[in-house]
Amino acid sequence: MARFWAKFVEDKFTEPIRQVLFVDGENQEKEVKNVKDALETLETLEGELKGKKFFGGESVGFVDIVLGFISIWLEIIEEVACVKVFDSQKCPSLAKWMEDFLEIKEIKENLPEREHLVPYFHKIRQFKLAMAAKK
């Protein structure tokens, strides 16, 4: 089950989000539209979470661990790329899950600091944009 969700999210959501980070201008506007289509993936996850704290119920499970990266990097990518793609009003269960996931003691203790992630993602973006400009 976790493998299915990981592949599903990777194909339908993660890759379009990456593309938003790696382009700018008109290309970014185009990719943002693609991400809007990919948000159906988050709506699917929203449906899976309805009435549950975690994907498996009241305690964190393997699917939560596999998909937990969303709660860590999505907001940072939005900040670095200067776009907003996630709407917590449309996916309140998923937004709550992200908060709850990040509050898990073991997760919290092992996450990289936001102050390190933001510059890291900025560097990745700058590198990708510079490489694209050379083509």
- Nearest-angstrom CA–CA distance, 17 and 131: 18
List the domain boundaries for the chain. 1-133
Residue that is written with structure tokens 């996630």 in the block: 86
More confidently predicted of 1 and 126: 126
pLDDT, tens digit, 9 for 90 and up, residues 6-62: 677 777 777 888 888 888 888 887 777 777 767 788 888 899 998 899 998 999 998
Give the torsion through C-alpha atoms of 73, 68, 108, 119, to 10 deg.
-10
Say what the pTM is.
Answer: 0.82
CB-CB neighbours of 56 under 10 Å = 14
- Nearest-angstrom CA–CA distance, 24 and 27: 6
CATH of domain 1-133: 1.20.1050.10
